[in-house]
Structure 1
Amino acid sequence: MHPLIKEVILSKEKIDERTKIVAKQVTEHYRSQKIGDEPIVLVGFLKGCVPFMGNFLENFELNCQTEYMLISSYGSNIKSSGKPEILLDLRIPIENRHILIVEDIIDTGITLDFMVNYFRMQNPKSVKIITMLDKVTAHKVDIKADWKCFDVEDQFLVGMGLDVNERFRNLPYVAVVDVEKLATWKW
């Protein structure tokens, strides 16, 4: 294990198991909406969404279309600037479509709240949120996921798409970063 990793809090097995359960709940929700073969538009925010979105897609049973956006609110910092900026937008219109945001983590919620409002201005049929992790105590806005896999404490986490300076996204588990070591770490 890398010296910056303090502890693993969620194993790959636990994440996979919970993702299967939540994907089934999401599938049942949309089936109950009687949308037929209309594809759900799954939107992921790059880069962090990739591992969880792949895991979710393997377990989601309905017709869907995947889209990705690049939103910046961190830069090279470990704390959000609080000012989201769309760097790569959707390539398709979403009016009268069901949108499902597939998020790796809800931290402050500022970027997610910004994006939900951005989507709603485009008149979709619905906007729902699924997240792998939710730091409820860190929220700075009133936002709630429709589905979530895990509540987590307000700690600096890496793995399963979460990073520090673009590193550790590929870890198959979620771990806590040792922020004391990180403060003086030389890459």
Structure 2
Amino acid sequence: MRIEMVINFLILACITNSLLALAILSLIRICNHRRKTLALVVEREDWDNEVLRVLRRSILSLAEPSWSPQGRYLSLTTTVPKVEEADLNLTVQTLLAQVASECKAAFNGDIKLANLERFVKSVYRLQARFGFNDTLMTDIFAMTVERVKGSVLLAKKVERVELVKSGARVDEKTMWPLNPGLRVKQPYGMILKTESGEVLSRAKAHCH
């Protein structure tokens, strides 16, 4: 009787291990497929840019298993909500293409404020959809901040660049609230100031 129990236990253990192995292999296949799908978009030549390097790495990490701390995977066909009424209806794929295009427009040659604001807004739209945390966004925008500091916008030199964090108190002198609220729910821009503190660009934000 005892031998029979041991045999049954060993058989059950073998079956369990086999099922676990199959589950792991299936997960690996899914992750590889997701990574290849994302790579088709973010490893194109127009993403070979130092400003986009951390963002590209973070997006590819979304193809990892669901326990990845970087965020959550979304299909490229997932719709991205509008921020403002004038925004176009975009999928994740078209927004990623737009980010690369706007990055090129913003940083090739002299930086133009309108192009910079559109680029930053699009990256924040990715944050809102993928769930990137504020710490990661600081890393993603590190090169953007470095490139913007010292540039001349509106005939004035940018000396200070500030990122807005979720939960920050709304300050209408430096922020552009897109809806009523006391706290920032989701930023869509960065604050640019001169050395004297004059605000050259306010950060758009959804509030609550």
TM-score range, shorter chain: under 0.3
Q: What TM-score results when the alignment is normalised by the length of structure 2?
A: 0.25
More strand by share: 1
Q: What TM-score results when the alignment is normalised by the length of structure 1?
A: 0.27
Higher Cα Rg, which structure: 2
More helix by share: 2
Higher relative contact order (CA 8 A, sep 6+): 1
